[in-house]
């Protein structure tokens, strides 16, 4: 595993995308490796149906599920595209506005297939033993300009909200 940890302030963001519940890699019986790549694929398939628009980053937003009686480890994942201007016709996509805030950030460097290992280390080992105090807010996975699924030096940002 290759990772860099730091703190980062992120601005408020407007995202367009789709969401689905899944079982986190931090829980037993995780289905993240099946659900999340398929969700991203579905999002990009929907883009073919829409008029062109510009986006910068891809951002995964993780929150507690909205329904009653969630399963252990269940989260809601919003696969979104960061936009400045929301297109008029969103088709099946929806808008999600996320607030600004301070985050403990882990930069996963390497293959996207091993992000689960980095995520588990960041949350279960690093954050548990750090002095950071988590705040109630969405968690992020950020796929910025450094993300390249074909590169061994690809970067995915894992961001936990902190005070």
| Mean pLDDT on 47-66 | 90
Distances 161 to 5, 7, 95, 98 between C-alpha atoms, Å: 13, 10, 21, 12
Does residue 88 sit in helix, strand or coil? coil
| Mean pLDDT on 127-146 | 94
Which residues, in sequence order, are CB contacts of 96 under 8 Å at separation 6+? 14, 15, 16, 17, 19, 61, 78, 80
pLDDT at 154: 94
| Mean pLDDT on 55-72 | 90
pLDDT at 108: 95
Whether pLDDT at 28 is above 80: yes
Q: How much of the chain is in helix, strand and coil states, percent to nearest 5?
A: 20, 40, 40
**In terms of residue numbers, what domain contains 121?**
3-161
Whether pLDDT at 70 is above 90: no
Whether pLDDT at 52 is above 80: yes
Over residues 124-133, the pLDDT tens digits come to 999 999 999 9
- Residue 111: give its domain's CATH number: 3.20.80.10
Please report which confidence band the pLDDT of residue 3 belongs to, taking 50, 70 and 90 as the band edges: confident
Whether pLDDT at 157 is above 90: yes
- What is the dihedral angle through the alpha carbons of 99, 111, 155, 62, rounded to the nearest 10 degrees? 10
Number of domains present in the structure of the chain = 1
> Quick check: 157 and 107 in contact, CB under 8 A?
yes
Structure tokens at 14: 């407007």
Mean pLDDT across the chain: 93
| Mean pLDDT on 133-144 | 95
Question: What's the rounded Cα separation, in Å, for the pair 57 and 82?
Answer: 5
Question: What's the rounded Cα separation, in Å, for the pair 42 and 20?
Answer: 11
> How far is C-alpha 147 from the chain's CA centre?
13
Whether pLDDT at 67 is above 90: no
Whether pLDDT at 1 is above 80: no
Positive or negative CA dihedral for 11, 163, 136, 21? Answer: positive
The percent of residues in the chain predicted with pLDDT above 70, rounded, is 100
Whether pLDDT at 2 is above 80: no
Question: What's the rounded Cα separation, in Å, for the pair 112 and 150?
Answer: 9
pTM: 0.92
């Amino acid at each position: 595993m290759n990772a860099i940890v730091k703190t980062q302030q992120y601005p408020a963001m407007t995202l367009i995308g789709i969401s689905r519940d899944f079982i986190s890699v931090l829980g037993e019986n995780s289905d993240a490796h099946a659900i999340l790549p398929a969700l991203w694929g579905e999002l990009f398939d929907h883009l073919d149906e829409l008029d062109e628009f510009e986006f910068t980053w891809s951002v995964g937003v993780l929150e507690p599920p909205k329904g009653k009686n969630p399963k252990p480890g269940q989260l809601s994942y919003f696969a979104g595209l960061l936009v400045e201007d929301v297109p008029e016709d969103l088709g099946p996509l929806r808008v999600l506005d996320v607030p600004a805030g301070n985050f403990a950030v882990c930069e996963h460097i390497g293959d996207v297939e091993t992000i689960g290992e980095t995520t588990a280390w960041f949350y279960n080992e690093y954050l548990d033993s750090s002095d950071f105090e988590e705040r109630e807010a969405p968690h992020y996975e950020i796929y910025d300009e450094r993300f390249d699924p074909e590169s061994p030096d690809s970067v995915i940002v894992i961001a936990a909200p902190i005070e």
